[in-house]
Every structure is written in C-alpha cells, then in structure tokens.
C-alpha cells in the first residue's frame, strides 16, 4: 500500500463540490473586478524565488522543494504565486498593455513545512496581482476584492489587519533602528536571527524561536519610521477603506514573511482555526519587478489559502450550497428496454440534463434502490409496455406524483428543472 506524501490532501468525490464552490466564488470575484486569469508553471528556475521572495526568508531558506532536473538545472516547485506572476508580466511584456494589468490565479503551491491544521506541504491559493498602479485606490481595491471573496463564501468571522512597512527610504532608517535595538540582545538570539541581523534585520521580527519572540516584542515599530510619502499613502489607504465601509485594525507587527513587500501590507485573520489563523495575506511590492530585471512597475496583490478557508468554513458551520444530484434515473427492465434507456439518457445529456442509467447490470428493483441512493428527483422505468406505446411514467420521487410522458417529450418535461 502506498500512501500520499505527508502534508498533502486528497479531495474525495463527496467533498469536491466544496472546492468547486470556493473556486466558483473566486472566479466570480475576479469577473466583477475585471481580473484576467493567468497560469504559470508549477516549477520555475530556483533563482526566481531566491531573488523574488528573498534569500533570508523561511520560505526560501528552509521550505522550498528544490531539485536538479535531468539537464542539471536547479528548479523549484512554486512556494507561492507572486514571483511567477511577476516573471510572466516581465517576460511577456505586459507592461506594453494598458495599465493597470489586473490578474488572478488559482494554483497549488508547495512549502516543506511541519504539517498541522491549516498548514500543508501542498496547498492551494486564490491570488490576485495588480501591476502598474501606485495609487492608494489600488490598495483599497485589492483589499476589497479579498473582502468580497470572503463575503461570497459566507465567512464573517475574520478580522482585517493592516500595516505599512515603508519604502526603501524608510526601511533604511528602520533597519538602523532595528540593529541598534537588537545589537545588545544578539548573543542570546538564535543563529538564524544572528545571520539575519546583518543581511535583513526586518526578518528577525518573524522569528518563531520563543526567546527571540520575547526580545522582538520590544523592537521599534516600523510605523514610527515611515517617510512623509509612505505616511500619506497609508493615511489615504485607511480613508479609502473607510469609504468601502471596512472595519480594520492597524497591526504594527505585520511584516509578512516574504521579502518583496513595500508599503501597505494586510492580512485577514481568524481565531477559529488554531495557530495558522491567517486565511489571506498580501500587500504592495513596488520594487519586485525592478529587482527581477524589469523597469520599475508598482504592484499589489494578495493570496488566500483555500484549505484554510475550507477549515474555517467547516469550523464555523458556514453553509455550502447543496451538492448537485442527477435529475433523472432511466431504468430498463429487460435487454431491449435497457437499450432504450441508454438512448434516452444519451439524448437528455446532450440537452444538458444530468441523467443516470444502469451500468451494473442490476435488476429493476436494485436499479430503483440505487436511484434512491443517488437522490435523483425523477425515475423513469422502461419495460415492454413502454417500448410498445412510446410513453413512460415519470415518477417525481419528492412528492410521489407520476406523469405519463411521450419518449420524445421527456426533455421538454424536465426542462422546467434546468
Ligand atoms: P503568504 O502569506 O505566504 O503570501 O500566503 C498566502 C496565504 O496562503 C496564507 O494566508 C495562507 O492562507 C496560505 N498558506 C500559506 N502557506 C500555507 C501552508 N503551508 N498551508 C496552507 N496554506 C498556506 C503569499 O503567498 C503571497 N504570494 C501573497 C501575495 C500575493 N502578496 C502579494 N501578492
């Protein structure tokens, strides 16, 4: 017996309608925001994530599925969608299309993390990325798309938290302040923090080590180091969120775990799914495209974790729409009637009716029993009599009523249900 790899999940046939519901909601949000779908490869050159997501992040440092292909190239299964989207934008010269470029994706992603509730090694994201606008309206629009998505899923039990982590200018000042603060504590901090001290002190703020976490509590807050432009931008974003009618809290501790962020960052957080409570996270990344070799293009986006959303919906009893059932079961009593049943079911399907007929060579009684298990609304049983008259009794299983319908009119009879 071979089992699935640790940290992965099967989607079973009686659960897939939940996934379809999530994905349909994502697509309908994308439609009203005029976001166009993109699909990028599952694997990319490792360098894309090293340069894009950042060498000092946990994701790149510890969690990537990286391997050499048979041609000796280092490739990596995508740990997230933004770096690939940025690469796609640059490589396909989308900069020459009317701006902003508003994109979305639904994608699997891979991180070698310690699995727990809401944390998997293969997970799925619905993400949106808006390229080309530095306006605060873009920040607010992206946040409102995330909010609408959660709303469509019936999720109310989440909190929007926002922060600004500034631009290169404020980050310089802030990094100096962080270093001044951490320097006297450095001896007692973990090796990762000690190496981040030189390379990227901001990353020390999301260390998971208990002792480091205590030290981090007293660290200076980025909001006190924002330059005038970043301050003004953040104020405008907050004012726009109020126009949208969103409740939010400013959480100066949100720094996000990926290096490309600048300015506005945000998370939608739940307290109902344990330690991994962030169901959706995102922010601006105005320098990423330039760092990947393009001209300067501002950008902002988010990604929501579909497994975490499912978990939240299940834990808070959010209702999923009912799974669709076949509309009719066409039973056949003998060999000739079975042929007719196949023909009728085939004709109905061509017209978009979900129809079932026997594939198990069951007796009529067993066919009825199976139809009942399927939960079909109608059952039509064809026998010698029906073949002779060309008329079949269609039984409505919900109210027990029976209607005699000509073979040629079965579709017309069922059409009202479509
Ligand atoms: P992220 O915060 O790393 O951001 O991931 C976004 C979401 O993906 C998380 O809030 C969470 O719901 C889900 N997620 C992350 N890791 C796991 C995991 N191991 N298991 C289950 N779910 C997980 C990004 O990925 C950015 N690319 C988001 C973004 C887009 N920023 C700008 N544009």
pLDDT digits (tens, 9 = 90+) for 348-407: 999 999 999 999 999 999 999 999 999 999 999 999 999 999 999 999 999 999 999 999
Read off the DSSP letter of residue 323.
P
Instruction: Give nearest CA residue, ligand 1 atom 21.
Output: 119
Amino acid 125: pLDDT: 98
Atom of ligand 1 nearest to the CA of 79: 25
Rounded CA-CA distance 26/146 in Å is 9
Asked whether 302 lines ligand 1 (CB < 6 A), one says yes
Amino acid 297: pLDDT: 98
User: How does DSSP assign 89-115, residue by residue?
Assistant: HHHTTGGGSSSPEEEEEEEEEE-----
CA distances from 239 to 235, 295, 394 (A): 6, 30, 60
In three-state secondary structure terms, 122 is strand
Read off the DSSP letter of residue 324.
P
Asked whether 286 lines ligand 1 (CB < 6 A), one says no
Q: Which domains does the chain have, with CATH numbers?
A: 13-167+227-315 (3.30.930.10), 328-417 (3.40.50.800)
Asked whether 107 lines ligand 1 (CB < 6 A), one says no
Rounded to the nearest 10°, the torsion over CA 116, 119, 121, 124 is 150
* Strand ranges, E, within 241-308: 249-250, 264-269, 278-284, 299-305
Rounded CA-CA distance 95/204 in Å is 35
- The β-bridge relationship of strands 355-357 and 328-332 is parallel
Amino acid 206: pLDDT: 86
pLDDT digits (tens, 9 = 90+) for 54-89: 999 999 999 999 999 999 999 999 999 999 999 999
Give the pTM. Answer: 0.95
Residues of the chain with pLDDT under 70: none
Residue length of the chain: 418
Instruction: Give nearest CA residue, ligand 1 atom 33.
Output: 301
Q: In what order do the strands lie in the sheet with 36-37?
A: 36-37, 101-110, 122-131, 299-305, 278-284, 264-269, 159-164, 249-250
Atom of ligand 1 nearest to the CA of 301: 33
Question: Separation of 337 CA from ligand 1 center, angstroms?
Answer: 55
Are 40 and 90 spatial neighbours (Cβ–Cβ below 8 Å)?
A: no
């Amino acid at each position: 017996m071979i089992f699935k790899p640790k940290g992965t999940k099967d989607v079973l046939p009686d659960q897939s309608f939940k996934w379809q519901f999530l994905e349909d909601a994502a697509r309908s949000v994308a439609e009203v925001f005029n976001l166009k779908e993109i699909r990028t490869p599952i694997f990319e050159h490792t360098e894309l994530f090293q340069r894009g997501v950042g060498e000092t992040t946990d994701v790149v440092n510890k969690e990537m599925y990286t391997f050499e292909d048979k041609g000796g190239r280092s490739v990596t299964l995508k740990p997230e969608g933004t770096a690939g989207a940025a690469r796609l934008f640059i490589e396909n010269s989308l900069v020459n299309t009317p701006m902003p470029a508003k994109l979305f994706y639904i994608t699997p992603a891979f991180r070698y993390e310690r699995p727990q509730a809401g944390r998997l090694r293969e997970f799925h994201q619905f993400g949106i990325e808006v390229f080309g606008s530095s306006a605060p309206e873009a920040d607010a629009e992206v946040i409102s798309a995330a909010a609408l998505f959660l709303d469509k899923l019936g999720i109310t039990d989440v909190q929007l938290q926002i922060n600004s982590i500034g631009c290169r200018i404020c980050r310089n000042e802030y990094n100096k302040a962080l270093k001044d603060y951490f320097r006297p504590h450095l001896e007692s901090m973990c090796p990762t923090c000690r190496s981040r001290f030189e390379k990227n002190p901001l990353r020390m703020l999301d260390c998971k080590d208990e002792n480091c976490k205590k030290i981090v509590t007293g660290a200076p807050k980025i909001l006190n180091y924002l330059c005038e432009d970043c301050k003004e931008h953040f104020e405008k974003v907050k004012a726009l969120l109020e126009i949208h009618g969103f409740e939010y809290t400013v959480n100066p501790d949100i720094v996000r775990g990926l290096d490309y962020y600048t300015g506005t960052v945000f998370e939608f957080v739940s307290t109902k799914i344990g330690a991994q409570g962030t169901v959706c996270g995102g922010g601006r990344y105005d320098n990423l495209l330039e760092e990947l070799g393009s001209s300067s293009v501002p950008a902002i986006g988010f990604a929501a974790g579909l497994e975490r959303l499912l978990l939240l919906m299940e834990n808070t009893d959010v209702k999923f729409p009912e799974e669709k059932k076949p509309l009719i079961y066409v039973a056949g009593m003998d060999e000739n009637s079975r042929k007719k049943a196949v023909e009728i079911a085939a004709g109905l399907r061509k017209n978009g009716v979900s129809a079932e007929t026997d594939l198990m060579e069951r007796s009529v009684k067993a066919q009825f029993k199976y139809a009942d298990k399927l939960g079909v609304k109608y059952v039509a049983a064809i026998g010698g009599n029906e073949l002779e008259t060309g008329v079949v009794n269609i039984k409505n299983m919900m109210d027990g009523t029976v209607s005699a319908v000509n073979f040629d009119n079965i579709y017309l009879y069922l059409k009202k249900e479509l």
